Structure 1
Amino acid sequence: MRRNDTFSLGPAIPGHTLRAVAIGVAVGAAILLSAPVGWVVVIGLVCAVGAVWPQTAGVWLAAAGAGLMLLLNEPHPARAAVAIAAVHLLHVLASLTSVIPMRAAVSLRALAPTGIRFAWMQGIGQAASLVVHLLPRGPAVPFAVLAGAGASLTVGVLAGRMLRAQRSHAFSPPDSHSAHLAER
């Protein structure tokens, strides 16, 4: 490259914009989830610390605070939708801010795959949340709880088997031919 060469990213945003969005999402979610004023301030401060110093995991802690605010109030589909969107967006922003420097320029084209994945997962998560809210309530255990427990158990068993198979393959004893060569 020469001095007069330029590099064009196309439309881009500064890295500090992602941090500002994270703080705004955390505070907005806390307000929409009816958090007491003290909690809104704490969530905002924790998120700000995490935005400036990503290694403190403050943005993730702010997401946990938003989830906690959902648990402290009566269940409502709108509140659940806000919490699902906010916690997911805070997770995405925390992941991005941990690898993107504050003064870097981020191409919007580079953020597009992340935005598409976010939209897909939000569609699935919001639909599942709405279905759970529409299930009848009663003294029996809802089908969704049983299905979720079964799915978690299945994933856990399959993951354990896959990891065990990989591990046993990695530590298998040498075959007889290579052992024979080693003896010579």
Structure 2
Amino acid sequence: MRANDSVSTGIALSWLVLRAMLLAVVVIGAAVLSPLIGWLIAAVALGVIGAALPQSFAAWGSVACLLIGMMIAGPDLGRTMLAVFVVHAVHVLTTLNLVVPVGARVVVGALRPTLIRFLVVQAIAQPLTLLVMLGATAGVAVIPWAVVAGAAALLALVFLLISSMKAAED
């Protein structure tokens, strides 16, 4: 490589953007999910510490504060689905912040696999959350059908795994 050579990358995000995203998710999640001011303040404080010092794992503590606040408030479908999203987003952003050093820039294209995994997990988790919440609030008559549906889903998963293992062997 010569002195006049240059390296060109795509659009990149600063490490500060990832930390700000984590803090924004925690603050918005706490504001919407936690009805008690004490748990809200604790969640935001832990979110600030987690964004400033990812190696402290404090952002995961903010998730605990959010969930405790939700348990006190009682079951609600919309809040539960939002909690599934917020907890997963905090987990993903905290994990990213652990591996992105201070002063670094992350090419947006490098975050694509993480985004795809996030969306796939949400595509699975949100309908399951909906089913569980509907089953929990519907009463006893729904429970036998939930068992049958769960058994059918388990059989479908086993069939899918066995067929994919056989295809991999061939």
**Same fold, judged at TM 0.5 (above):** yes
CA distance 1:2–1:30, change in 2 (3 Å): same
Query: Where does 1:155-170 land on structure 2 (aligned, <5 Å)?
Result: none
CA distance 1:143–1:99, change in 2 (3 Å): farther
Give the 3-state SS of the residue equivalent to 1:98 in structure 2: helix
Give the 3-state SS of the residue equivalent to 2:106 in structure 1: strand
State the match for 2:140 in structure 1. 138
Moved over 4 A (4+): 139-148
Query: Where does 1:50-61 land on structure 2 (aligned, <5 Å)?
Result: 50-61=50-61
CA distance 1:10–1:70, change in 2 (3 Å): same
CA distance in 1, matches of 2:59, 2:17: 14
Q: Does 1:77 align with 2:69?
A: no
Q: Is the 8 A contact 1:33 1:79 kept in 2?
A: yes
Give the 3-state SS of the residue equivalent to 1:106 in structure 2: strand
State the match for 1:18 in structure 2. 18
TM-score by length of 1: 0.72
State the match for 1:163 in structure 2. none
Give the 3-state SS of the residue equivalent to 1:102 in structure 2: coil
CA distance in 2, matches of 1:55, 1:144: 41
CA distance in 2, matches of 1:134, 1:14: 41
Letter in 2 for 1:112: R
What is the aligned-residue RMSD (CA, Å)?
2.3
Residues 47-85 of structure 1: per-residue CA shift (max 9 Å, x gap): 111222112101111122222222221211100011000
Instruction: Report which of the two structures shows the higher radius of gyration computed on alpha carbons.
Output: 1
CA distance 1:97–1:142, change in 2 (3 Å): farther
In terms of fraction of residues, the more helix-rich structure is 2
Letter in 1 for 2:96: L
Letter in 1 for 2:40: V
CA distance in 2, matches of 1:71, 1:143: 26
TM-score by length of 2: 0.78
Give the 3-state SS of the residue equivalent to 1:2 in structure 2: coil
State the match for 2:115 in structure 1. 115
- Give how far 1:143 is off: 6.4
Q: Which deviates more from structure 2 when the two are superposed, residues 77-86 or residues 52-61?
A: 52-61
Letter in 1 for 2:91: H
Structure 1, unaligned runs of 5 or more: 152-184
CA distance in 2, matches of 1:4, 1:48: 42
State the match for 1:105 in structure 2. 105
State the match for 2:31 in structure 1. 31
CA distance 1:139–1:6, change in 2 (3 Å): same
CA distance 1:35–1:9, change in 2 (3 Å): farther
> Aligned residues, how many?
149
